[in-house]
Amino acid sequence: MTRAGRILGALVAVVLCLAVMPEVASAHAYLIRTSPTASRVLNTPPRQVSLTYDEAVEPRFAIISVTNVDGHQETTGPVRRSAADPDTLVVPLRPRLPEGWYLIYWRAISVDGHPVQGAFTYAVGPNPGPAPKFAVPSISAGATAPNLLITRWVMFLSVMVAIGLFALRFFVARSLPRRVDGTGLRALSVAFVAASVIGVLAIPVYLDFAIASDSLRSVFDVGALVPLFRVTAFGRGYVDMMLCFALFCVAAWVALLVDRPDRRSRSLAEILAQTGALLAAGAVLVLPGAVGHAGQTSPRGLSVPVDWLHLIAGSVWLGGLVGLLVLWFTADSRRRVAALSVVVPRFSTVALGSVALLLTTGTIATIDHMPALDALWDTGYGVAILVKIAILLVAMAVAAGNLLSTRPRLAAAGGGSSAGDGADAVRAASLLRRLVAVEAVLVAGAVFVAALLSSLAPPPPAFAKQNAALASVGPGTVAQTIERAGYRLQVLVSPNKAAAPDSFALRITKGGQPVRHADVTLTFNHTEMQMPQQQYQLTETRPGVYSRRAPALIMVGKWALAFNVSPPGGPPFTALIIDEANG
Amino acid sequence: MSTPQIVLRLTLAVLVLVGGIVAAVVAIEVVRTVLS
């Protein structure tokens, strides 16, 4: 198969893999049980609020706010972990809360470092009155705050460029001084040292910003932040990454010190130092995935190695491109073409392998993270993946230009005269610089999207419910008629506003006649945020009309409303609609 | 190259190899914890 054919084959494989996306869910901290239960009217005021998650979340990073309708805070102490259950957080409440409705807003940090939040209401009775409209607090400082995103990007960029430059310097370009007189590897070595120093500084800076954001402290409050570095698995992972990257840098600097590129074969000292650096580089690149989304996505035995290979491939490609630019700009203009004719053909082969690996692992990771195919264009996480794929496809098109046009011309120049600087080769080298610069900028852009992607929460499993929905309605008042199991169902939601008491009704008819005495329950699941499922029994208020007023749409966004209907004398059925509520 | 130079280079190389092995062990431990 030709190279173009292989590239085409890889692209077809991506499209095919995306088309057969299975329903696989990923895990963040999910709230699985609450006390008091959402929207419940209690006859005696509770003494505390307890929230149980599917994993042990850290109380020092958690917020549980309990407010009355006037916004007055009703908690009397800090959030702490339950002595009986490590997955449960509790917060004490003011004793003898008066009758009325209360809003519980919570925010917690998942094991992978992402903030998750939600809200629900409960009432103290017996006569709390109608549910009021609450102002739901919103803490905008999430994992995607610009300062956090930029520090994350700089960190990934410097670490990946450093590791990629190391690979280029030692395994692609090492023979350059032997093959072309008057050339050297000094510029590549200096660029590598610069990138590694930036990386060594960027990791703790990012960690400081991330922990400051999670614990709602200032980034300059270093004395308070450092003890929190190792509290979450996310923090521990990045401290370990910092250690491993420091070991990589020391090993790579020693490898530079003992390297003698004028000799064809490597000495024992060179082999040992380079092996140490490679081991440490491998360790550095496995850690972000292990403590990030990959480590939280089932099957972990697949997703962690896939993420590792993805980062290795990205590093080799990006660092190599930066290295080629460094070579172009620092090489003596008389020897530039000769130097590039040695390095470019060798790097092209490596880059082609990297791109193929990047495509394969990226596709597997996408399949692994998406609960459904349409999550790709219906969620921010999915859209970020599409943007990243688009940027990388453009970068690959530019890379194909290099592969098919400049590489053969430079290779021919290298194989021809010893000077190797014919007019065509000079033009090819000039074109190469422009293409490589564009490619490097595009790949750096893709790393930025990856930094954004790894900061966003993947769509929750409830997202997959959207595909089973009979209709999508809202925002605004809903009057939608659907057919299900031979019944005609009219769904009525008014005014369909979040954090307000809404009226939900279902009119059931069959053959034009109202269906009476059916058992109808309605369940609510937010498709974009992690919240407990709510369930209400609807009562027949008119013949064939089952309704209920409830403050169930706690947050704005898309809700999966499942009407579970058991008609008399007929088999039960479920009708699912997606309702979008606005504020 | 003199013998002391060779010894120094080898010592440095062995030290950083040990560093690399430490890094690999740290990563393996983290991954093992995640997978368990």
Distance CA A554, CA A499 (A): 5
**Least Cα separation, residue A542 to chain B (angstroms):** 55
Mark residue A571 as left, alpha or beta (left: phi above 0; alpha: psi -120 to 50; beta: remaining): beta
- Taking CA atoms, A119 is separated from A75, A137, A545, in Å, by 15, 9, 30
Per-residue pLDDT, A274: 96
Residues B9 and B21: their CA atoms lie apart, in Å, by 18
Average pLDDT per consecutive 10 residues, chain A (583 residues; last block may be shorter): 48 40 44 80 91 84 88 90 91 91 85 74 84 65 75 96 97 93 91 97 94 84 86 87 96 95 92 96 95 83 94 96 94 86 91 94 88 80 91 92 85 60 79 91 94 79 73 88 91 83 90 92 81 84 91 80 91 91 74
pLDDT attached to residue A21: 34
Taking only Cα atoms into account, the Rg of chain A, rounded to an integer number of angstroms, comes to: 29
Q: Is the peptide bond before A36 cis (omega within 30 degrees of 0)?
A: yes
CA of B12 to nearest chain A CA: how many angstroms apart? 7
Binary contact (B16, A251; C-beta < 8 A): yes
By the 8 A CB rule, do A232 and A214 touch? yes
Q: Does A42 touch chain B (CB under 8 A)?
A: no
Check if A270 contacts B (Cβ < 8 Å): yes
The CA distance from A489 to A400, in Å, is 55
Q: Is the pLDDT of residue B19 over 80?
A: yes
Q: What is the dihedral of CA A391, A397, A398, A402, to 10 degrees?
A: 150
Q: What is the pLDDT of residue A27?
A: 43
What would the mean pLDDT of B7-24 be, rounded to a whole number? 94
Q: CB of A451 within 8 Å of any CB in chain B?
A: no
The pLDDT of residue A143 is 59
Closest partner residue to A277 (CB to CB) among B16, B18, B22 is: B16
Indicate the residue type of A23. E
Degrees (nearest 5) of the Cα angle A110, A103, A539?
A: 110
Token output for A470: 């009979």
DSSP string, A524-544: EEESSS----EEEEEEEEETT
Does A254 contact B at CB distance below 8 Å?
yes
Q: Is A87 on the interface with B (CB under 8 A)?
A: no
β A115-124/A100-109 pair status: antiparallel
Check residue A170 and give its pLDDT: 96
Question: Does the CB of A248 have a partner CB in chain B at under 8 Å?
Answer: yes
Compute the distance between CA of residue A177 and CA of residue A563 in angstroms, rounded to an integer.
Answer: 74
d(CA B9, CA A406): 40
- A59–B contact, CB cutoff 8 A: no
Is the peptide bond prior to A126 cis by the omega test (within 30 degrees of 0)? yes
Kindly list the residues from chain A whose CB atom is less than 8 angstroms away from the CB atom of residue B13: 254-255, 258, 268-273, 276
Cα–Cα distance measured from residue A87 to residue A56, given in angstroms and rounded to the nearest whole number: 4
Q: Which chain A positions have a beta carbon within 8 Å of B31's beta carbon?
A: 286, 290, 304
